[in-house]
Amino acid sequence: MSFDLAARLAARRADNLYRQRPLLESPQGPEVVVDGQPLLAFCNNDYLGLANHPQVIEAWRAGAARWGVGGGASHLVIGHSTPHHELEEALADLTGRPRALLFTTGYMANLGAVTALVGQGDTVLEDRLNHASLLDAGLLSGARFNRYLHNDATSLAKRLEKATGNTLVVTDGVFSMDGDIADLPALAREAKAKGAWLMVDDAHGFGPLGANGGGIVEHFGLSQEDVPVLVGTLGKAFGTAGAFVAGSEELIESLIQFARPYIYTTSQPPALACATLKSLELLRSEHWRREHLNVLIRQFRRGAEQIGLELMDSFTPIQPIMIGDAGRAVRLSQMLRERGLMVTAIRPPTVPAGSARLRVTLTAAHSEAQVQLLLNGLADCFAQLGPEPSHA
């Protein structure tokens, strides 16, 4: 018996679901070079335009000169450096919580938090559209795992009725493929009523949302009591890499003791923490970045509606254009690329079958003129492609 990998790959190609890695040959930003072609990109998550910021680059350079390059060991051995500690304190301050804990990636933060908090005999309840890392964490925890209808507090309440043991309710803050935000006040109300904890992965909310970039919890004015477990990633609006969990003293100490993805991995480079400290300072102080981003989001939505595109209910930088058919979405993405515009086609299994889309992401580094170029390109491509053939 052998693995027939060739057949699996051929089937994926036939279904228009084959993925390939574009090769970025320039720093991240609106104007990039991909596979040798200069493009105007609308597909990265660098929402505040900090990934290539001179001050952030200089902070990394200075950090490397002082602290070296590698973390050298896990945090619990001898890999927990002063820059890591200072960054944790700054992230705790951003979130208004006693403690924060650094992880190497967002995937590991989610796996670590869920599997440390619940296990056999417990219950995990997750939104149907949660990020893959959250779903994997729920399944790997060994707890009873169930999904509630997307952003539906009534559906959550019904599942809470049947929950056993310690119960963790898990949701994205901003849903990465739809751009809509979780109804946290309603979810928190249901969770608290049943003595469950609410965990929010606000990977796409930190930076764009909240008066000071504090994300969805700040946006709604919620407390640690409402959302005991708050996760954020540093590779999106912060423009660097890594992730964190913020919460109570007891939560963070418990993660240090029991979160296997935290315990058994080398710490991130200390210089990276130095860079993130600088980007966090810019995220909090340069309010114009959020304000400019919101202007662009309104401009895009207004223009897209005039063209007649089907948008989703999103006021965040994630602006999906619904297409439906995966092949059609890929064709549109290719047509845009021929015009020098890079917008990724998102297909199953990342999104449900029949809901393929172009996922536009806007950043504070884009200009209004660049957004208008995108709108012009979309109008041309949709006109050229014509209406979707009926399946009658």
pLDDT digits (tens, 9 = 90+) for 113-151: 999 999 999 999 999 999 999 999 999 999 999 999 999
Rounded to the nearest 5°, which phi and psi values hold at 300? Answer: -65, -45
Cα gap 261→391, rounded to integer Å: 47
pLDDT at res. 392: 40
Residue numbers belonging to the annotated binding site for pyridoxal 5'-phosphate: 106-107, 176, 204, 233
* Coil, helix or strand at residue 232: strand
Average pLDDT for 267-291: 97
End-to-end CA distance of the chain: 43
Just list the catalytic residues: 176, 204, 236
Predicted structure pTM score? 0.95
- Answer whether residue 199 shows pLDDT above 60: yes
pLDDT at res. 64: 98
Spell out the residues 6+ positions from residue 292 whose beta carbon is closer than 8 angstroms to its own: 364
pLDDT digits (tens, 9 = 90+) for 91-110: 999 999 999 999 999 999 99
Q: Rounded mean pLDDT of the chain?
A: 96
Residue numbers belonging to the annotated binding site: 19, 106-107, 131, 176, 204, 233, 350
Residue % of the chain over a pLDDT of 90: 92
Contact criterion met (CB below 8 Å) for 235 and 103:
no
Q: Return the ∠ at Cα 124 (arms to 119 and 138), rounded to 5°.
A: 75
CA atoms within 13 A on the CB side of 227: 31
pLDDT at res. 175: 97
Cα gap 115→337, rounded to integer Å: 41
| 50-71 core/surface letters (b: 16 or more CB in 10 A; e: else) | bbebeebeebbeebbeebeeeb
pLDDT digits (tens, 9 = 90+) for 305-353: 999 999 999 999 999 999 999 889 999 999 999 999 999 999 888 888 8
- Answer whether residue 14 shows pLDDT above 70: yes
User: Sign (positive/negative) of CA torsion 326, 42, 26, 63?
Assistant: negative
Residue numbers belonging to the annotated binding site for substrate: 19, 131, 350
Q: Output 296 or 13, whichever has higher pLDDT.
A: 296
- Answer whether residue 391 shows pLDDT above 60: no
